[in-house]
Structure formats: C-alpha cells, structure tokens
Amino acid sequence: MNVNDQSRYCHAERSEASRCPSRQTLRFAQGDKTLPMLVVKNHNHAPTDQQPGGIPLRIDGVSKTFSGRTQTVEALLAVNLEVAAGEFVCLLGPSGCGKSTLLSVIAGLETATTGTVWANEREVRGPGTDRVLLFQEAALFPWLDVQHNVEFGLRQAGAFARERAALAQHFIELVHLQGFERSYIHQLSGGMRQRVAIARALAIDPAVLLMDEPFGALDALTRDRLHAELEAIWATTLKTVLFVTHNVREAVALGDRVLVFSPRPGRIVREFRINLPRPRSLEDHTLVDQAAEILTVLKGIPGDKSEEYSQ
C-alpha cells in the first residue's frame, strides 16, 4: 500500500464514527437512475416461488456508435429487450459485436447513442448501486486483503465496522473462501480472485449483476466449479443477471434464456429459451444437444467467426 492509498484508507476509518447509516442505506435505493430488429420479451424464468432479489430491466431501442478522429464505429444497432426480475440471461456473439458495450450502457458507464435503459421502471442516467458490472479481470485492490476487498463497497456506503465485517464474512463464506480472509490478491488463484469479486459485488446487495466473461480466463476445471457455485448463489439470491460468454455450453448451463448477437454492428438475431431442470450438469446429454443446436445457429450467421466459440 503506498502512502496516498494508506492515508485515504485510514481517513475513511477515522471518519467511521461520524456516519450513522440506516438499514435502507445498506440495502441501497434501486437506481435512478439485436439483423432485423427483434423485440425480446421475458416469460417464465424463476426456478422457485422465492421472491426475486433482482429488478426488471427494459432496453428500448438502445444503440451505440463510437466516433473517433478518423472513423466512426457502429457497435450496436437498436436493441430491444425485456428481462424479468430474477432472470438469468446469457449473451452470445462474436468479439466486437457490442455485448460488453450493452452491459456498460445498462451499468450507466456508457451513454447510449439512441434509446433508453429502464431499471425497475426508472430511467438509467448513470451508475447506480442497484447495478454492478463484473469483468473478466477481477479488478480487486492489491493493497487490501480479501476481507477488506469485500468490505470496500460497504465502507464507501458508510456501514459501521462491525456490521460490514459480519456482512463481508457472510459473503466470503457464500463463495467458499473462509480461511482466506487475511490473504492478499497476489496469494490467490484466478478462480479465488473471481470469488472475491463476486462476494464484493453481492455484499452491497445490487439488484442486477452484469457479468462480462467473468470465467473466460480460467482453466476448465475451475470454470466448471464456478458455474455450479454461481448457479447456487443465483438460486439463493435470485438477482437479475446478464452474463456475456463465448462458451455455448456455459450459456446453456447457466441461462434461463440465451440471446445470440450478430457480428458488428450487433443486434439480437435469435433467442433460445432454456427449460432444463436445475441444477444443471455440463455433461447432461440434453444440455449438450441444446448447446450444439445453438452453435449451429452461430456458425450460420453471415460474417460470424465460429472458431471463437467453445462448447
């Protein structure tokens, strides 16, 4: 930890006593803030009668164009999509087709060129604690240990030390990292780092998890293990999840729906509803067959680079 980072961290700790958040602060307010155009709507989604912990999303005609000095890049054509509270939706498509751009727009980190994103019927005008974006790289703080990385968002929200420690411990246990609370990031494997990132995201109780290939850099065994853990966590919390992947079988294993994007400029061209029982096994013959069907569709999209996908 350098001097400036240590100073900021200690200042935040010293100012602890001046803050007195309510439980509403800890729960957070829920945000204020496609080839022919396909309007994708939600139908049945939740695996149980449990009350969803997520919120509905509606994407109305969202497009994105990036303008540079020498050229203009049309990343997304108009996307229309409805996602139900507690639904798990996977996005498949070639690199550069705008999947990650769409997540950034939903997160409020990018502004749409046209169209509007609605989170729980409120227009998204910027980042909000109801939506958290997780990347392929875990983006953790190397000068903090696991415990303090997971506590970070809670500390920023003004939670008292005792309460945030208890909440962090709960989510550390949820992702099976108990015993590593005092470990630093360089001491963890790639899979363990992603577990920390997921725990940190869940600790602030977002309604929507936006996951951009979070397991893409992991080995197959670790990735398969995290599939099962993520599915179990989702079944417990019923957050609304949008999950970007190039792994077709991963999409079928996790998603209530799989949406297939065209090459840039991206648009949703097919929707597959996954009605397989949960929990799902990557080796299940029905799952493998459905993944093969989706891969065939991907290979048939003009301009698509099918070698990017794994099954």
The CA distance from 22 to 295, in Å, is: 49
Q: Which residues contact 216 (CB under 8 A, 6 or more apart)?
A: 136, 245, 246, 247
Residue 125 resides in a domain: yes
Helix, strand, or coil here: 63? strand
Q: Are residues 217 and 120 in the same domain?
A: yes
Q: Give the chain's domain count.
A: 2
**pLDDT of the chain along its 311 residues, tens only?**
443 444 443 333 333 333 333 333 333 333 332 223 344 444 434 444 445 689 999 999 999 999 888 889 999 999 999 999 999 999 999 888 999 999 999 999 999 999 999 999 999 999 998 999 998 888 899 999 999 999 999 998 899 999 999 999 999 998 999 999 999 999 999 889 999 999 999 999 999 999 999 888 788 888 888 888 899 999 989 999 999 999 999 999 999 999 999 998 899 999 999 999 999 988 899 999 999 999 999 888 876 555 555 55
- The position carrying tokens 């309604």 is 207
Instruction: Name the DSSP letter for residue 54.
Output: S
- The position carrying tokens 């550069």 is 96
Q: Are residues 217 and 68 in the same domain?
A: yes
Query: Which among 149, 178, 205 is the end of a domain?
Result: 205
Q: Are residues 107 and 213 in the same domain?
A: yes
Residue 112 resides in a domain: yes
The CA distance from 296 to 270, in Å, is: 12
Amino acid at 296: T
Chain-centroid distance, C-alpha 310: 20
Q: Are residues 44 and 94 in the same domain?
A: yes
Q: Are residues 78 and 165 in the same domain?
A: no
> Hey, which residues does 271 pair with through a beta bridge?
259
The CA distance from 194 to 180, in Å, is: 14
Which tokens belong to 108?
């409020």
Structural domain that includes position 58: 29-130+208-306
Residue 94 · residue 304 · CB < 8 Å? yes
The CA distance from 188 to 282, in Å, is: 26
Q: Are residues 165 and 43 in the same domain?
A: no
Nearest to 231, CA basis, from 121, 88, 27: 88
Q: Are residues 82 and 117 in the same domain?
A: yes
Q: Are residues 302 and 235 in the same domain?
A: yes
How many CB atoms sit inside 10 A of residue 232's CB?
Answer: 13
Q: Are residues 84 and 169 in the same domain?
A: no
Query: What pLDDT digit, counting tens, does each position of 192-237 carry?
Result: 999 999 999 999 999 999 999 988 878 888 888 888 889 999 998 9
User: Where would I find the H helices in 70-189?
Assistant: 99-107, 146-156, 161-174
How confident is the model at residue 311, as a pLDDT? 58
Instruction: Name the DSSP letter for residue 51.
Output: P
Residue 229 resides in a domain: yes
Which tokens belong to 107?
């997160």
Q: Are residues 121 and 233 in the same domain?
A: yes
What is the chain's Cα-based Rg?
20
How confident is the model at residue 291, as a pLDDT? 95
Q: Are residues 116 and 196 in the same domain?
A: no
Query: What pLDDT digit, counting tens, does each position of 105-116 carry?
Result: 999 999 999 999
